[in-house]
Amino acid sequence: MNGFLPPIRLSHRGQRIVASLAATGLALAGLLAAPVAAQSFSYAKSAGNDPGQCAAGKGPAARVTVSGLKSSEGNLFVRAYPANSRDWLESKRYVMRIDALPQKGTVSVCVPLPAAGAYAIAVHHDVNGNRKSDLSDGAGMSNNPGIKKILGLVPRPPSVDKARFTVGEGVARLSIAVQYM
């Protein structure tokens, strides 16, 4: 005995059924693989704040209302990341960065996105305008998870799962409250 099953002889009808099942399996495999292929992104794109990109009939995009800004000083950066732990908050791994002028209180920012799917957004208010993260800067994330501090000093960002949101072909609306350390 060689451990293999003997060949099975199928009727003509049985062969058609097996061929049909195989074709269905291949088609389903293609459908399941399609979203993975669609998730290849171009990284580190940036633009100015263009509210027209969030107009009716546009998208995919996220209209982000950023609140809690303590001043109009410095820069406001709104970065959209693919919602995975490999890219989340990694340098140059965002799919879109919008550079906007901060205003004390609230600012509306439109973030065009490359495709419908799952994303996470991080907001950075660079108060002194040095384009670096300082302890005086403010930050916020989609879904407004709390930003914890390590030893009461150094901010520790939340996981991407806490900031994840989904956008379809249209415009998603988000509100992000900026927190200062």
> pLDDT confidence of 40, banded at 50, 70, 90?
confident
Name every residue whose Cβ is closer than 8 Å to that of residue 94 and which is 6 or more positions away in sequence.
43, 44, 45, 79, 80, 81, 87, 122
Q: Per-residue confidence at 24, pLDDT binned at 50, 70, 90?
A: very low
Model confidence, pTM: 0.77
Q: What are 47-93's pLDDT values in tens digits?
A: 999 999 999 999 999 999 999 999 999 999 999 999 999 999 999 99
What are 54's two structure tokens? 């969030």
Query: Residue 38 has which token pair?
Result: 């669609």
Strand residues in the chain grouped as ranges (E): 46-48, 61-69, 75-82, 96-100, 105-112, 117-126, 138-141, 148-150, 154-156, 164-167, 171-177, 179-180
Is residue 3 over pLDDT 70?
no
Q: What is the pLDDT of residues 91-148, one digit of tens each?
A: 999 999 999 999 999 999 999 999 999 999 999 999 999 999 888 899 999 999 988 7
Instruction: Find out whether 132 and 116 touch, Cβ atoms under 8 Å.
Output: no
